[in-house]
Amino acid sequence: MQALQRLFGVTGDQRRLRRQDFHIPSAELASPLQRSFTLEAIIAFPELDAGGAGGAAVPEFFHQMAADEAGRLKCRLRLEATWTDDGSLDGTIEQKYWAIRTFGQFADADCTELKATDRARIQMIYVPATRDGASQVTAFLRGRLWRAINWSQGVRCWFPRRTEPVRRIISIEN
């Protein structure tokens, strides 16, 4: 689940790679100066096999799709990351996201860098079994709705006027 969150999480913290994400072999005696990993996801769209209006459900950025052996269109997305020991506590992590237009072995010509805006069109919302899933999904949707509302100028001016007294009271308490 964490691997999918690193690719398609809805928050920056879910997508942020950490030093702990890089595998350390149990028999390793000396730490190398660099570690790397690759994470791939192949996304299938069964609605494309059915034909008809289902094709409208697939985002247009999937021009990066490739056909498998049976001719079904799929999208192959890849995260490549390198951790470097730069002397700091956590080191530095460089990462690249790619869309690969072929299956099996590939060359650089088969890859297109995947923009963050395109990657964000696929989202994974993970709700742990021990948490209240309804509240997590509600908070996620409320945040989206709040950002999507086209507020009038009157409402935009109203909020700061109404919240300023509350801010003053809180600052006095602190």
> Per-residue pLDDT tens for 70-107?
878 888 999 999 999 998 888 999 999 999 988 889 99
3-state SS record for the chain: CHHHHHHHECCHHHHCCCHHHCCCCCCCCCCCCEEEEEEEEEEECHHHHHCHHHHHHCCCCHHHCEECCCCCEEEEEEEEEEEECCCCCCCEEEEEEEEECCCCCCCHHHEEECCHHHHCCCCECCCCCCCCHHHHHHHHHHHHHHHHCCCCHHHHHHHHHHHHHHHHHHHHHC
Whole-model pTM? 0.67
The domain segmentation of the chain, as residue ranges, is 2-126, 131-174
Burial (CB < 10 A; 0-12, 13-18, 19+), residue 95, is middle
Share of the chain above pLDDT 70, in %: 87
For 99, half-sphere exposure in the C-beta direction (CA atoms, 13 angstrom radius) is 17
User: Which carries the bigger pLDDT value, residue 115 or residue 96?
Assistant: 96
Whether the predicted pLDDT of 174 surpasses 70 = no
pLDDT at 92: 95
Whether the predicted pLDDT of 121 surpasses 60 = yes
Model confidence at 117, pLDDT cuts 50, 70, 90, reads: confident
